[in-house]
Each structure stands twice: as structure tokens, then as C-alpha cells.
């Protein structure tokens, strides 16, 4: 069976936290690939500040040059909230020969009990958790922890900085910064 990690997110915008956790999990779990999965509507928070097309393009720019990273637009094709249960069900139907590992940060690990159809979802995919500052990795559900340095970067931090006209160099990939500047995203 091929082993594929999935990093679902809003990616508003993508940043080095996303890239580092995907790369670490890829190596530590000896995965074949990691797919970045931008959501249409995040189930638990208010929507993205930037439209689907721009977020998809930013993810493509972020992962450019990494041969084991790719992007899936499967959630962007679906209307409404992007419940992971629906997505994994669809992905498994389309790829019966792939075992999926769903990668989440500490904030999402704490929130797992509230996920849609979480019991069924737990039987369909292995969750992989990485620490995030301010959150525990404790969960009533089995989550495989992957150790790595805590990275205190978030999309919120980047949006805030850009809104203040501050620099974001090294907080995300250069291609993402170029895309943001070219399309005048996140300006005050």
C-alpha cells in the first residue's frame, strides 16, 4: 500500500509551519508523498479572507520544487463546509490502494472530539499530531505524535504583519511572498 500524508488547512496564507511539519512527518513516518488539501470552508472557524483560487495558487507556490509534495483541490470542488470525514471517504473511494495519514497541529488535536463523524473517521485514517505552542497533544482518540521543533508561525501572524505593512521574509516561501505582492493580498 502506498502511504500518503494529508495536510488539510485554510492556507490563508501557507507558511513555513505547514512546510516544516509536512516535511518532518514525511521523513519520520517514511511516507511516499504528502498532499496539501486546501479547504473550501473550514468547519470550525470563520471563512478564509482570500478566495479559493488565490489560496490554491499560494499552496502551489509554497510547495514548488519539492517532488514529494502535491496539492489536492478535492475540497475546493465541493460546496459548503469541508468536513474531513467526507473528504477521506471520497479519497479512499478514488484511491483504494492508498493508506492516508491526516496531519494536524496541536490546536486541532484538542478540537478532535468535536469533529464531524469523528468515530467513523478514526477508523478510516490515522491521525498524526505535531505540537503547537499553547496546546497539548492530549486526546481521547489515538493520535500518533511526531516530534519536531515548535514553530510559532501562523497564518494569522502573517496576515497581521502584512496588514501593518511589515516584512514577512522567511516566514513563508519566497514564491508565496511574490504571489502575495503581485496580487496585492492582505494589504490594509
Binding residues vs ligand NCN (CB under 6 A): 8-10, 37, 39, 42-45, 82-85, 108, 111, 115-116
When CB distances are held under 5 to 8 angstroms depending on the partner's kind, the choice from ligand ATP, ligand NCN, none that residue 175 binds is none
Q: C-alpha cell of 117?
A: 463523524
Q: How far apart are CA 176 and CA 101, in angstroms?
A: 26
Q: Which of 176, 180, 184, 148 is nearest to 15 (CA)?
A: 176
Residue window 97-126: x/- pattern of binding to ligand ATP, with contact defined by CB under 6 A = -------xx-xx------------------
Q: Which of 64, 24, 51 is nearest to 150 (CA)?
A: 24
Q: Binders of ligand ATP among 6-25, rule CB under 6 A?
A: 9-12, 17-18, 21
Instruction: Measure the CA angle with vertex 29, ends 26 and 30; round to 5°.
Output: 70
Footprint of ligand ATP on this chain (CB under 6 A)? 9-12, 17-18, 21, 104-105, 107-108, 130, 132, 151, 153-156
Amino acid at each position: 500500500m502506498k502511504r500518503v500524508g494529508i495536510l488539510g488547512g485554510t492556507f490563508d496564507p501557507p507558511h513555513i509551519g505547514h512546510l516544516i511539519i509536512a516535511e518532518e512527518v514525511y521523513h519520520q513516518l517514511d511516507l511516499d508523498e504528502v498532499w496539501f488539501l486546501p479547504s473550501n470552508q473550514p468547519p470550525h472557524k470563520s471563512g478564509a479572507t482570500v478566495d479559493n483560487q488565490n489560496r490554491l495558487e499560494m499552496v502551489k507556490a509554497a510547495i514548488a520544487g519539492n517532488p514529494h509534495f502535491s496539492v489536492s483541490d478535492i475540497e475546493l470542488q465541493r460546496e459548503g463546509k469541508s468536513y474531513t470525514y467526507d473528504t477521506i471517504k471520497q479519497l479512499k473511494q478514488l484511491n483504494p490502494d492508498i493508506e492516508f495519514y491526516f496531519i494536524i497541529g496541536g490546536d486541532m488535536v484538542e478540537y478532535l472530539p468535536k469533529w464531524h463523524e469523528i468515530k467513523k473517521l478514526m477508523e478510516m485514517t490515522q491521525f498524526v499530531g505535531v505540537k503547537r505552542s499553547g496546546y497539548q497533544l492530549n486526546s481521547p482518540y489515538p493520535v500518533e505524535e511526531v516530534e519536531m521543533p515548535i514553530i510559532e508561525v501562523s497564518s494569522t501572524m502573517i496576515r497581521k504583519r502584512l496588514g501593518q505593512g511589515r516584512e514577512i521574509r522567511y516566514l513563508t516561501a519566497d514564491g508565496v511572498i511574490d504571489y502575495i505582492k503581485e496580487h496585492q493580498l492582505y494589504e490594509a
